[in-house]
């Protein structure tokens, strides 16, 4: 038996057929047909795979599954440090243990809290608890069953008297939770807390109860500042430009590569929040749908009271021609 491959142009374009040249008449014809079918299927599958590899494309089914994996996370990043954080969120979302999120101002702690909630199995709502409208009655068992996650954005803003009440409530919940877990059922929400301050210093200063801190600090997450994930800045810029231009102006704005490079050099002390706000400001003030470096340069100068007094319109919004003192301090 001899095997040969021919281009099957007449029956099906862009496909191949395998023909078996039989030299042994004793071969069973039914077996021969089965061999034909299997070999043709295998060979054409191999051709498709080689085509996908050559063109850099994927079949629709695999492509859909790949896109689902990519879109599972709402985080915008390419850095290893954010990949680690993303993986930790996945693990935490499968539990109902309390979480403490720490990080500098503007790093996105509220966003991380919501991301944990979104990836969990609950269908109940996310409740944000601000210190200025804190309602201790909300922590009654009956009310707790209405929420999937209760989030306290800055625990050091909670008065000591409320910390004591909250601690007692959390202890009761924890005790009941363990009893219910023996029956493999629970109606309690997850508690998430966050802070941008040195909590141990707050304990020493008498602003935070130590027992309250140790009770809520079961699982901790550290959100890195933007200076530790510089490679993410271009992705964040493009995301914010697209999202906010569509939201504010109803059309997608573009941003020049020079402007992206310009913003990527800045030391963003306010982290992601400051970067996002400067982009929003530029979109609102822009008269065209292309953002240039000059737009951001002028905004950064305006926001700095000292250098706004030195700003000379002869710079024409070009940071490269402004005094080195301004360049150094801006970046």
List beta partners, residue 193. 100, 152
Give pLDDT, residue 70: 41
Give pLDDT, residue 199: 94
User: What number of residues does the chain have?
Assistant: 331
CB 189 within 8 A of CB 149: yes
Give pLDDT, residue 300: 85
Mean pLDDT of 185-204: 88
What is the rounded CA–CA span in Å between residue 190 and residue 120?
A: 10
CATH 1.10.8.60 fits 227-330, yes or no: yes
What is the rounded CA–CA span in Å between residue 150 and residue 160?
A: 19
Please identify which residue in the block is written with the tokens 């191949």. 16
Mean pLDDT of 97-104: 94
Give pLDDT, residue 96: 84
Q: H-helix or E-strand containing 255? A: strand 254-255
pLDDT tens column, 235-245: 999 999 999 99
Least confident segment among 59-63, 104-108, 142-146, 185-189: 59-63
Which residues touch 7 (CB under 8 Å, ≥6 apart)?
16, 17
Mean pLDDT of 26-49: 66
CB 97 within 8 A of CB 186: no
Give pLDDT, residue 6: 46
CB 5 within 8 A of CB 36: no
CA-wise closest residue to 258 among 318, 307, 309, 306: 318
pLDDT tens column, 79-96: 999 999 999 999 999 888
Mean pLDDT of 16-20: 49
CATH 3.40.50.300 fits 76-224, yes or no: yes
CB 151 within 8 A of CB 126: yes
Give pLDDT, residue 315: 46
197 DSSP 8-state letter? S
Q: H-helix or E-strand containing 5? A: strand 2-7
The percent of residues in the chain predicted with pLDDT above 70, rounded, is 67
Mean pLDDT of the chain: 78
CB 96 within 8 A of CB 191: no
pLDDT band at 135 (very low <50, low <70, confident <90, very high): confident
List beta partners, residue 194. 101
User: At 140, is the secondary structure helix, strand, or coil?
Assistant: coil
Q: H-helix or E-strand containing 180? A: helix 160-181
Looking at the chain, the domain(s) classified CATH 1.10.8.60 span 227-330
């Amino acid at each position: 038996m001899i095997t040969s491959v021919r281009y099957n142009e007449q029956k099906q374009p862009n496909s191949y057929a395998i023909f078996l040249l039989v030299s042994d008449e004793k071969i069973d014809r039914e077996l021969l047909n089965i061999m034909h079918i299997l070999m043709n299927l295998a060979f054409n599958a191999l051709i498709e795979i080689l085509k996908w590899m050559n063109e850099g494309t994927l079949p629709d089914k695999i492509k859909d599954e790949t896109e689902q994996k990519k879109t599972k996370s709402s985080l915008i990043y390419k850095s290893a440090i954010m990949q680690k954080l993303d993986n930790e969120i996945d693990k935490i979302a499968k539990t109902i243990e309390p979480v403490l999120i720490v990080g500098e101002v503007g790093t996105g702690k509220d966003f991380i809290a919501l991301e944990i909630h979104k990836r969990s199995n609950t269908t109940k709502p996310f409740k944000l608890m601000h210190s200025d409208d804190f309602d201790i009655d909300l922590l009654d068992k009956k009310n707790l069953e209405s929420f999937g996650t209760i989030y306290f954005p800055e625990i050091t803003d909670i008065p000591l008297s409320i910390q004591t009440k909250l601690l007692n409530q959390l202890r009761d919940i924890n005790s009941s939770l363990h009893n219910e877990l023996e029956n493999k059922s629970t109606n309690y929400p997850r508690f998430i807390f966050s802070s941008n301050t040195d909590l141990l210093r707050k304990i020493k200063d008498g602003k935070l109860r130590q027992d309250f801190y140790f009770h809520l600090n079961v699982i901790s997450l550290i959100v890195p500042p933007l200076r530790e994930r510089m490679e993410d800045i271009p992705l964040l810029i493009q995301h914010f430009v697209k999202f906010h231009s569509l939201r504010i102006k109803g059309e997608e704005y573009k941003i020049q590569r020079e402007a992206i490079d310009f913003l990527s050099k800045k030391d963003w002390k306010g982290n992601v929040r400051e970067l996002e706000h400067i982009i929003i400001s530029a979109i609102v003030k822009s008269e065209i749908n292309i953002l240039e470096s000059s737009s951001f340069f002028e905004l950064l100068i305006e926001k700095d009271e000292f250098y706004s007094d030195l700003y000379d319109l002869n710079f024409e919004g070009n940071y490269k021609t402004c005094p080195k003192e301004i360049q150094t301090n801006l970046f």
